[in-house]
Amino acid sequence: LRPPTVIGQFHTLFFGSIRMFFLGVLGFAVYGNEALHFSCDPDKREVNLFCYNQFRPITPQVFWALQLVIVLVPGAFFHLYAACKSIKQEDILQKSSYTGFYIFSVFLRIVLEVVAFWLQIQLFGFKVNAIYTCDVGALEKKFNITRCMVPEHFEKTIFLIAMYTFTVITVILCVAEIFEISCRRLGFLKPQ
């Protein structure tokens, strides 16, 4: 069962293919070895690990993979429901209850994307700086603040912006899909 609208089908293609490919291939290339090349002054394993964990409470690849899975859940529930009820694609936009449930699943995707966008801002910001200042006071060292070098900070900044852009595009597609469904139900657009 594919999405009942053209925008929904494009969203599935965009979301399923391009975004996952971008994250899987390029995300690994940009972030895959970050912890190994993260170095602090003094360059000791325990300081590097402590500061890296402070710098990255969750790795971006894990965050974005979780985001993709969580955002897919509402659509998966709808499609599971449709499969169990043997709902045909053309019935989704014809019966009000099916349409309402489908719109709810799209709206839930929007909410989840917005929450993920906000969390991404809180965790990663919009720019990765070349130097990270780390508070190592908890290690009971003579020094409390140390400076750490962040590898490929410029590439990471570009990747962050790309992931924000994907989230915005996904939200726009979801809003457009709700608009398309509303226009079809109100008779402004002909059925597919």
More confident residue, 20 or 134: 134
Q: What's the total number of domains in the chain? A: 1
Residue 2 covered by a domain: no
Q: Give the per-residue pLDDT at 115.
A: 97
Average pLDDT over residues 117-130: 95
Structural domain including 124 reads 39-182
pLDDT of 47: 87
Tell which wins on pLDDT, 141 or 114. Answer: 114
Using CA atoms, how far residue 147 sits from 50, 82, 140, 152, in Å, is 12, 55, 16, 16
Q: Which amino acid is at 29?
A: A
48 is a domain residue: yes
What average pLDDT score do residues 80-100 get?
A: 87
What residues contact residue 51 under an 8 Å CB cut-off, 6+ apart?
38, 40, 132, 134, 136, 146, 148
Give residue 192's pLDDT band: very low, low, confident or very high (50, 70, 90): low
Residue 166 belongs to a domain: yes
Q: Which of 48, 64, 14, 56 is nearest to 153 (CA)?
A: 56
User: What digits encode the pLDDT tens for the residues 43-68?
Assistant: 888 889 999 999 999 989 899 989 98
What is the model's pTM?
A: 0.86
Does residue 179 register a pLDDT over 90? yes
Asked whether residue 16 carries a pLDDT value surpassing 80, the answer given is no
- 23 is a domain residue: no
pLDDT (average), residues 105-130: 95
**pLDDT grade for 184, boundaries at 50, 70 and 90:** confident
Mean of pLDDT values over 26-43? 84
- Is residue 13 a part of any domain in this protein? no
Mean pLDDT of 108-121: 96
User: What is the pLDDT at residue 112?
Assistant: 96
Q: What average pLDDT does the structure give for the chain?
A: 88
- Beta-bridged to residue 134, according to DSSP, are 146
Does 96 reside within a domain?
Answer: yes
Nearest to 161 by CA among 29, 60, 58: 60
Asked whether residue 18 is domain-assigned, the answer is no
> Is 16 domain-assigned?
no
**Within its chain, how far is the Cα of 174 from the centroid?**
14
Task: Give the domain CATH number at 111.
Answer: 1.20.1440.80
